[in-house]
């Protein structure tokens, strides 16, 4: 069984005024690109992680066409909430609305064949910046803010601490409930560390949980001419950035077991 990831599809079937076209030519017709690549690589038994920024919808009803689009694609899907997923309701209501074969993770553990998967949204890491890695072409309505405003720093630190607590509990659950799984996988929406893999409190939690892979998204419009590769492997964990524009809208193969 294979594990893939494709994050941040930012779908808008239920909110046609929110298409992604304005973010650059690569986004024009991006749902069709995703569907083509997905059908070419993912089988019915495979698992695809979609860790956040799934839909522009503001409520569950509006998100339904986007969920049904993903639901029709091959394989089982594991969803996580991103910062743009305003439609993500209470977890019980959300799970009841998901098409068959779709799972939502919110700090708990999903077991699918050899894979144990857990995670939380997380937040911007204090002291970690991707500013120099992003191609800041002026576009209407950005998806990623450059840096928090000075006045927002205290609020950002408070949010980060809350999210780190949630990640800690999720990683404890992954270590406990996933101990007999062949492959433990951590998912977050925000990157848990910088592109240079310098250790953070979040990466320490992921490593302690015995995760073999960590998959995340959130970053967009990254430059292709970076001097050093972004992310990679450290302390036994392979860190995968799976934002769909970074991976050319084709599910990224993470593992096979
Ligand atoms: Fe995003
Ligand atoms: Fe995001």
Q: Which residues are CB-contacts of 184 (< 8 A; sequence separation ≥ 6)?
A: 115, 116, 174, 175, 178, 209, 210, 211, 212
Q: What spacing in Å lies between the alpha carbon of 208 and ligand 2's midpoint?
A: 25
Q: Which of 28, 106, 15, 20 is nearest to 61 (CA)?
A: 15
pLDDT over 70 at 6, yes or no: yes
Tens-place pLDDT, residues 8-55: 999 999 998 888 888 889 999 999 999 999 999 999 999 999 999 999
Q: What spacing in Å lies between the alpha carbon of 176 and ligand 1's midpoint?
A: 30
pLDDT over 80 at 111, yes or no: yes
* CATH code of the domain containing 177: 3.60.21.10
**Domain interval for residue 119:** 2-256
Higher pLDDT, 152 or 127: 127
pLDDT over 90 at 177, yes or no: yes
| Nearest ligand to the C-alpha atom of residue 221 | 1
Q: How many domains does one find in the chain?
A: 1
Q: What spacing in Å lies between the alpha carbon of 180 and ligand 2's midpoint?
A: 32
Q: What is the pLDDT of residue 148?
A: 54
pLDDT over 80 at 151, yes or no: no
pLDDT > 70 fraction of the chain, expressed in percent and rounded: 95
d(CA 4, CA 139): 30
Q: What is the pLDDT of residue 17?
A: 87
pLDDT over 90 at 56, yes or no: yes
| Nearest ligand to the C-alpha atom of residue 20 | 1
Q: What spacing in Å lies between the alpha carbon of 43 and ligand 2's midpoint?
A: 27
Q: Which of 68, 80, 12, 6 is nearest to 41 (CA)?
A: 6
pLDDT over 60 at 147, yes or no: no
Q: What is the pLDDT of residue 138?
A: 64
| Nearest ligand to the C-alpha atom of residue 220 | 1
| Nearest ligand to the C-alpha atom of residue 145 | 2
- Considering the entire predicted model, what is its pTM? 0.95
Q: What spacing in Å lies between the alpha carbon of 81 and ligand 2's midpoint?
A: 9
User: Residue ranges of the alpha helices (H) in the chain?
Assistant: 30-41, 60-72, 91-97, 153-177, 201-208
pLDDT over 80 at 249, yes or no: yes
pLDDT over 70 at 139, yes or no: no
pLDDT over 60 at 84, yes or no: yes
Q: What spacing in Å lies between the alpha carbon of 54 and ligand 2's midpoint?
A: 9
- Work out the average pLDDT over 105-117: 98
Query: Could you list which residues have their CB under 5 Å from ion ligand 1?
Result: 8, 53
Q: What spacing in Å lies between the alpha carbon of 180 and ligand 1's midpoint?
A: 33
Q: What is the pLDDT of residue 20?
A: 87
Q: What is the pLDDT of residue 22?
A: 85
């Amino acid at each position: 069984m294979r594990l893939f990831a494709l994050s941040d599809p930012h779908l808008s079937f239920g909110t046609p005024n929110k298409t992604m076209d304005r973010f650059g030519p690569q986004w024009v017709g991006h749902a069709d690109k995703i569907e083509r690549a997905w059908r070419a690589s993912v089988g019915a038994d495979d698992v695809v992680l979609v860790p956040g920024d799934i839909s522009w919808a503001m409520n569950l009803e509006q998100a339904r066409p986007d969920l049904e689009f993903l639901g029709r694609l091959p394989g089982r899907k594991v969803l996580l909430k991103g910062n743009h997923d305003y439609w993500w309701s209470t977890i019980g209501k959300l799970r009841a609305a998901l098409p068959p074969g779709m799972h939502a993770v919110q700090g708990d553990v999903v077991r699918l064949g050899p894979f144990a998967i857990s995670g939380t949204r997380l937040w911007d890491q204090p002291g970690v910046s991707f500013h120099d890695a992003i191609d800041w072409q002026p576009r209407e309505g950005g998806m990623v803010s450059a840096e928090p405003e000075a006045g927002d720093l205290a609020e950002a630190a408070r949010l980060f601490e809350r999210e780190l607590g949630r990640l800690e509990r999720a990683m404890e659950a992954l270590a406990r409930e996933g101990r007999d799984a062949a492959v433990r996988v951590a998912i977050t929406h925000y990157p848990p560390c910088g592109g240079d893999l310098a250790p953070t409190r979040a990466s320490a939690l992921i490593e302690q949980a015995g995760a073999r892979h960590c998959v995340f998204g959130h970053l967009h419009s990254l430059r292709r001419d970076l001097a050093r590769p972004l992310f990679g492997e450290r302390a036994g964990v392979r860190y995968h950035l799976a934002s769909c524009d970074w991976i050319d809208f084709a599910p990224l193969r993470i593992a096979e077991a």
